[in-house]
Amino acid sequence: MHHLALFVVLIVLAAGPAPAQQADIRIAVPSELVDSGLMQYILPRFSLKTAIRVEAGKDGALQIVTEPPGTPVFSRGGTNYYLRAAQGDKAARFRDWLTGPIGRRTVEAFVPAEGGQGFTMAPPEKPETDAPDFVGDAARGHALAREHCGRCHVVDEANRMRGIGSTPSFAVLRALPGWVVRFESFYARNPHGAYTVIEGVTPSFDITSPPPIARLELTLDDLDDIMAYAATVPPADLGAPIQYQ
């Protein structure tokens, strides 16, 4: 009996440490979507926006399938994918996000790591407007952007002289294709990763190793506000097509 109990414990340990935080919802997807890297690309972006953790696997309250019924979401190489959402607020939020302008742009921005074909979106259900809705408070976002981003970026006329010369201004960032996705995920993009903490999203720092420079600490709500402000910034006229990775 003793041996059996020990054996069971070992199996549990071998399965690896439990995830630090449990997923709020699960989504069942065909394995090629996981293999392509698409799920790993889009799910953290949804979670950042909503603080809802989604895990892709073999079963779940949400499903992406290759046969109707369902809401057409995207296709690749002649295969169409449909989303079937179960009851529930969180599942509905995911459906709205994936079929809305931000989710669509996120899927389109995805480039498979092994080269290969990306995903194209199903035609929108509703006509797409150019300006996605920003839920944040733009005035508060303006103040936050000045305080936190204005250390390096020129945010507006008032802090024109305070930014760091080689750092793109907010007006230049606004003119980049996919600026929404870039802002949404700025904390994971160079050079911010080394000093940025987004509460509940990025791992917190090892307090024994001091960061190279002053930390930038924000919540998801703060980031929503900054994005609402950025949406009001007139994009710089960069003339020729933008050469910016």
| CA separation for the pair 38, 49 (Å, rounded) | 17
| CA separation for the pair 131, 141 (Å, rounded) | 17
For ligand HEC, which is the closer residue by CB, 90 or 192?
Answer: 192
For ligand HEC, which is the closer residue by CB, 7 or 244?
Answer: 244
Which residue do the tokens 């710089």 mark? Answer: 236
Question: Contact region for ligand HEC (CB under 6 A) — 30-38, 90-98, 118-126, 185-193?
Answer: 185-193
Q: Does 146 bind ligand HEC (CB under 6 A)?
A: no
Shortest distance, position 166 Cβ to ligand HEC, whole Å: 6
Shortest distance, position 226 Cβ to ligand HEC, whole Å: 5
One-letter amino acid for residue 110 of the chain: F
Q: At a CB cut-off of 8 Å and minimum separation 6, what does 210 contact?
A: none
Q: Does 151 bind ligand HEC (CB under 6 A)?
A: yes
For ligand HEC, which is the closer residue by CB, 48 or 149?
Answer: 149
| CA separation for the pair 152, 18 (Å, rounded) | 39
Q: At a CB cut-off of 8 Å and minimum separation 6, what does 146 contact?
A: 155, 156, 158, 159
Shortest distance, position 161 Cβ to ligand HEC, whole Å: 16
For ligand HEC, which is the closer residue by CB, 124 or 191?
Answer: 191
Render the burial of 34-48: b for 16+ CB within 10 Å, e for the rest.
eebebbebbbbbbbb
Which residue do the tokens 């069942």 mark? Answer: 28
Shortest distance, position 108 Cβ to ligand HEC, whole Å: 16
| Contacting residue, 95, 105, 153, 174, with ligand HEC by CB under 6 A | 153
Cβ atoms of 81 and 27 within 8 Å: the answer is: no
For ligand HEC, which is the closer residue by CB, 129 or 190?
Answer: 190
Q: Does 105 bind ligand HEC (CB under 6 A)?
A: no
| Contacting residue, 88, 191, 193, 200, with ligand HEC by CB under 6 A | 191
* Rounded-to-10 torsion of CA 85, 89, 94, 95: 50
Structure-token pair, residue 227: 């994005």
Cβ atoms of 4 and 14 within 8 Å: the answer is: no
Shortest distance, position 141 Cβ to ligand HEC, whole Å: 9
For ligand HEC, which is the closer residue by CB, 56 or 220?
Answer: 220
Shortest distance, position 231 Cβ to ligand HEC, whole Å: 12
Alpha carbons within 13 A on the beta-carbon side of 141: 20
Q: How many residues bind ligand HEC (CB under 6 A)?
A: 18
Residue ranges in contact with ligand HEC by CB under 6 A: 148-149, 151-153, 167-168, 173, 182-183, 186, 189-192, 216, 218, 226
